[in-house]
A = this chain, B = another copy of it.
Amino acid sequence: MSPKITTELLKQLRQVMRNPRYVQEPVQAYIVPSGDAHQSEYIAPCDCRRAFISGFDGSAGTAIVTEQHAAMWTDGRYFLQAAHQMDSNWTLMKMGLKDTPTQEDWLVSVLPEGSKVGVDPFIIPADQWKRMSKALRSAGHDLVPVKENLIDTIWTDCPQRPCKPLITLDLSYTGISWRDKIVALRSKMAERKVMWFVVTALDEVAWLFNLRGSDVEYNPVFFAYAVIGMNTIRLFIDGDRMMDPAVREHLQLDSTLEPEFKIQVLPYGSILSELQAVGAGLSPKEKVWLSDKASYALTEAIPKAYRYLTPYTPICIAKAVKNAAETEGMRRAHIKDAVALCELFNWLEKEVPKGTVTEIIAADKAEEFRSQQKDFVELSFATISSTGPNGAIIHYKPVPETNRTLSVNEIYLLDSGAQYKDGTTDVTRTMHFGTPSAYEKECFTYVLKGHIAVSAAIFPNGTKGHLLDSFARSALWDCGLDYLHGTGHGVGSFLNVHEGPCGISYKTFADEPLEAGMIVSDEPGYYEDGSFGIRIENVVLVIPAETKYNFKNRGSLTFEPLTLVPIQTKMIDVNLLTEKECNWVNEYHRQCREVVGAELERQGRHEALQWLLRETEPLARGQ
List residues of chain A with CB under 8 Å of any chain B CB: 98, 138, 305, 457-460, 462, 466-471, 473-474, 477-482, 506, 508, 547-551, 554, 556, 578
Known pairs A468-B470, A470-B468, A506-B467; A480 contacts B547 (CB<8 A): yes
Structural contact, A482 and B468, CB atoms closer than 8 A? no
Q: Which residue of B lies closest to A506 (CB)?
A: B467
- A471 contact from B98, B470, B506, B554, Cβ within 8 A: B470
Copy tally for this chain in the complex stands at 2
B477, B548, B554, B556: the one contacting A457 at CB < 8 Å is: B477
Report how far A98 CA is from B464 CA in the complex, Å: 13
Q: When the two chains form their complex, are residues A471 and B474 in contact, meaning their CB atoms are under 8 A apart?
A: yes
Q: For the complex, what is the distance from the CA of A96 to the CA of B305, rounded to whole Å?
A: 29
Q: Give the residue of B471, B480, B547 whose beta carbon is less than 8 angstroms from that of A458.
A: B480
Q: A470-B467, A470-B471, A506-B467 are in contact. Are A477 and B458 (CB under 8 A)?
A: yes
A466 contacts which chain B residues (CB < 8 A)? 508
Give the interface centre of A470, A480, A481, A551 by most chain B CB atoms within 10 Å. A480
Residues of B contacting A550 with CB < 8 Å? 480
Contact A460 B477 (CB under 8 A): yes
B481 touches A549 (CB 8 A): yes
7 A-B pairs closest in CB distance:
A480-B547, A480-B549, A508-B508, A480-B550, A479-B548, A467-B470, A480-B551
User: A457 — which chain B residues lie within 8 A by C-beta?
Assistant: 474, 477
Given contacts A457-B474, A470-B468, A474-B471, contact A480 B138 (CB under 8 A): no
Nearest Cβ on chain B to A619's Cβ, whole angstroms:
20
Of A98, A457, A459, which is in contact with the most chain B CB atoms at under 10 Å from its CB? Answer: A459
* Chain B residue at minimal CB-CB distance from A469: B467
Select A462's contact among B98, B459, B462, B467, beta carbons within 8 Å. B98
User: Residues of B contacting A467 with CB < 8 Å?
Assistant: 469-470, 506
Measured CB to CB, the closest approach of chain B to A528, in angstroms, equals 9
A-B contact pairs, 26 of them (CB 8 A): A98-B462, A138-B305, A457-B477, A459-B470, A459-B473, A459-B477, A460-B477, A460-B480, A466-B508, A467-B469, A467-B470, A468-B470, A471-B474, A477-B547, A477-B556, A478-B547, A479-B547, A479-B549, A480-B547, A480-B551, A480-B556, A481-B549, A481-B551, A482-B554, A508-B508, A578-B578
> Which partner residue on chain B sits nearest A466 by CB separation?
B508
- Which B-chain residue is minimally distant from A462 (CB atoms)? B98
Query: Could you say which residues of chain B place their CB within 8 Å of the CB of A474?
Result: 457, 471
Determine the distance from Cα of A466 to Cα of B466 in the docked complex, in whole angstroms.
10
- Expressed in whole angstroms, the Cα–Cα distance for A477 and B456 within the complex equals 11
**Residue of B with least CB distance to A549:** B480
18 other A-B residue contacts (CB within 8 Å) besides A466-B508, A480-B547, A480-B551 = A98-B462, A138-B305, A458-B480, A459-B470, A459-B473, A459-B477, A460-B477, A460-B480, A460-B482, A467-B469, A467-B470, A470-B470, A478-B547, A480-B556, A481-B549, A482-B551, A482-B554, A578-B578
A460 to B471, CA, bound (A): 14
Question: Using Cβ atoms and an 8 Å threshold, which residues of chain B touch A547?
Answer: 477-480
Query: In the assembly, what is the distance between CA of A467 and CA of B459, in Å?
Result: 15
A508 to B469, CA, bound (A): 13
**Best-buried of A305, A457, A549, A556 by chain B (most CB within 10 Å):** A549
